[in-house]
Amino acid sequence: MKTIIYIEDSRANRILVDRVLESEGYRILQAPDGETGIRLAMSESADLILVDLGLPDIDGQTVVTLLQRMPNLQNKPIVALTAWPADTAFQLAERYGLAGCILKPIEVKRFPLQIAAYLKETTTSKKSI
């Protein structure tokens, strides 16, 4: 079973993503803020990390820079899940070396396909799916 860490402050978004992905057989670990997400990423073996770029304690981009330094996350895709305008979101994803970016609100039918595609990609392949 693939494990996904989802760092997101909105409870409603966490519930939605949890329901959509758990029904597809993923194990979802939720973090409501950046610090919790970083702790989870250090203690758990994740196959993919989803990060909201607007977090209440540490902003999402900075969280990403810390996650990218963790040895256990090398070659694991880190994907932004964000409400930023599309142009800005894709620019941030590219500049920060993310595997890609998914815009909110998620499309429930398409979302599991996007996640599956990122899990097949390597972190060196930066594209939006």
Partner 1 sequence: MDLIRANRFTLEQLTEAYNETRNDYIVPMPMNVARFREYIYLYDIDLSASWVATRGDIIYGLGMLGIRSGRAWISRVGVLPWGRRQGIGRSIINKLLDSAGENSLDTIYLEVIAGNEPASQLFLTSGFQRTRELIVARRPPHSNHNLMELEEKPQIRELNRDQTLSLLEQRTGRPNWLNETDTFRKLSDLRGFSVQLPGGSQGWICYEVTFLQVTRTIVEVLEGDPVKVTRAALCALHERHPAQDAVLENLPGADPNWIGFSDIGYFEVFRRTEMVKVNS
Strands 48-51 and 27-31, how do they pair? unpaired
b/e sequence 62-101, b meaning 16+ C-beta within 10 Å = ebbeebbeeeebeebbbbbbbebeeeebbebbeebebbbb
For partner 1, which is the closer residue by CB, 42 or 56? 56
Within residues 20-49, the interface with partner 1 by CB under 8 A covers 33
Stretch that binds partner 1, among 22-30, 42-50, 56-64, 108-116 (CB under 8 A): 56-64
Structure tokens at 35: 């610090």
For partner 1, which is the closer residue by CB, 52 or 114? 52
Select the residue interacting with partner 1 from 16, 28, 58, 129 (CB under 8 A): 58
For partner 1, which is the closer residue by CB, 57 or 107? 57
88 touches partner 1 by CB under 8 A: yes
For partner 1, which is the closer residue by CB, 46 or 55? 55
79 touches partner 1 by CB under 8 A: no
Of 48, 61, 58, the C-alpha closest to 123 is 48
Structure tokens at 84: 């930023």
18 touches partner 1 by CB under 8 A: no
Residue ranges in contact with partner 1 by CB under 8 A:
9-10, 33, 52-59, 61-62, 65-66, 68-69, 82-85, 88, 91-92, 95-97
